[in-house]
Structure 1
């Protein structure tokens, strides 16, 4: 329900600023999480047997064809871990890469959560469009992380 009524100009400015803030703040918070946070095999990050070690994501979405075009947000932060390619092939390198895909996946799941707040200053239709934006923007990143982590976990086992 729209609580604040703004001009079209200010609504657009606030929408853009709010998304920028939420994306950057969530990414910065997730970057500060210690690696131990991602060692608990949580339900949201676990690779399930039905995912076939990432093969499912390739079959459904042809991930290999477009994943290279996604922006790696790690380049925005000094402490970010680039996930465009492996940093090595040792077991420790693979574990680190898998852990960083969990961090990235969590970042994108959490980046969807603020979308309902946009109903506060947007008309209902635009509020729903913000939810669609949040899902459509973040889902390719989530799918890519699950695809990559499934393949890495298979290599580690």
Structure 2
């Protein structure tokens, strides 16, 4: 039972506005984070050995087949780093691209977090639908970022 009881049309409208608000707010906050934060090596963005430099994601989800269908967030905010392709082939270009995959990954992990708030005004089944939406919308993008960064890391890593 939702805490706030509203007519269905209002619930749908509030859901659309709330998701738009959360996606844009989180995107803007992550865009404002310094690039140096993402250029550093951090446990949070580490590509683990079991990911096999991104090959795991290709094997499990055939990422190469569908990753080109995902829209880059830069088309909506008109800011940021377009990750549809590399911006050069120098090591510094690849490291910048890898850093921007970290920014995108963080953005999409954070974009999942507001989903439980939707239980406040949605019926139980719709609250769970909002959780499912958050996962289905964000996890594929996270997988693409980890796939791309895993591949780049093998090129830029000094321990090759």
Aligned to 2:99: 99
| Structure 1 residue runs of 4 or more that deviate by more than 4 Å after TM superposition | none
Counterparts of 1:107 and 1:97, CA distance in 2? 15
Residue 125 of structure 2 is aligned to residue 125 of structure 1: yes
CA apart distance, 1:42: 3.1
- SS of residue in 2 equivalent to 1:44: helix
Deviations 1:82-141 (A, max 9, x none): 000000000110010000000000000000000000000001111111001100110110
2:84 paired with 1:84 = yes
Inter-partner Cα distance in structure 2 for 1:42 and 1:115: 26
Query: Any unmatched runs of 5+ in structure 1?
Result: none
RMSD of equivalent CA atoms? 1.1
Instruction: Give the deviation of 1:76 after TM superposition.
Output: 1.8
2:45 match: secondary structure: coil
* Unaligned segments of structure 2, at least 5 residues: none
Query: Matched residue pairs, number?
Result: 157
- Native 8 Å contact 2:39 2:95 kept in 1: no
Aligned partners of 2:18, 2:82: CA distance in 1, in Å?
25
